[in-house]
Structure formats: structure tokens, C-alpha cells
Amino acid sequence: MATTTIRDRLYDYIRYADDKKVKAIYTMVEDEINEQIDPWEDKEFLKEIDLRLNEFESGNIKTSTWEEVKQKAKFLKKS
């Protein structure tokens, strides 16, 4: 069975399952849910954000205005 089908079936099951079953399922995956990475606590992620901010503020990278982005998107859509 495809993963997307399994997800859909689990979603439907959990939506209508009684409280006891929902709590049991949550207990099984609670530790994994709590271990998910918070990007604001990831030192490498924050280092990369700081690097990009410094490049932007120093003018070392070329940026586009929102209007320029929209114009490029319209051009690409026509192609």
C-alpha cells in the first residue's frame, strides 16, 4: 500500500477514533514527536541564517524586489 494511502487512512481513522485509542496511538509516537528538530535551536541552521543575513546587509549578493520576482514568474509562465 502506498504511503500516501496509509497516511490518508490513518488520518481518517484518528479523526473518528474514540479518545482511548487516540491517546494510545499518541503514546506510541510521543517521544518521536517531541524529538523533532526545532530549527531555532539548530546551531548550523542559525549559522547559515546569520551568514546569509550578513551577505545581504553587506550587499555581496544580488536580490530582487517583489515586483521583479513577479515579472520573472510571468515571463517563465509564458515560456
The domain ranges of the chain are 1-36, 38-79
pTM attached to this predicted model: 0.43
**What is the 3 state secondary structure string of 2-51?**
CHHHHHHHHHHHHHHCCHHHHHHHHHHHHHHHHHCCCHHHCHHHHHHHHH
- pLDDT on residue 37: 72
- pLDDT on residue 15: 94
pLDDT digits (tens, 9 = 90+) for 21-64: 999 999 999 988 888 777 788 889 999 999 999 999 999 988 89
Q: Could you tell me if residue 27 is left (phi over 0), alpha (psi between -120 and 50 degrees) or otherwise beta?
A: alpha
- pLDDT on residue 38: 78
- pLDDT on residue 3: 95
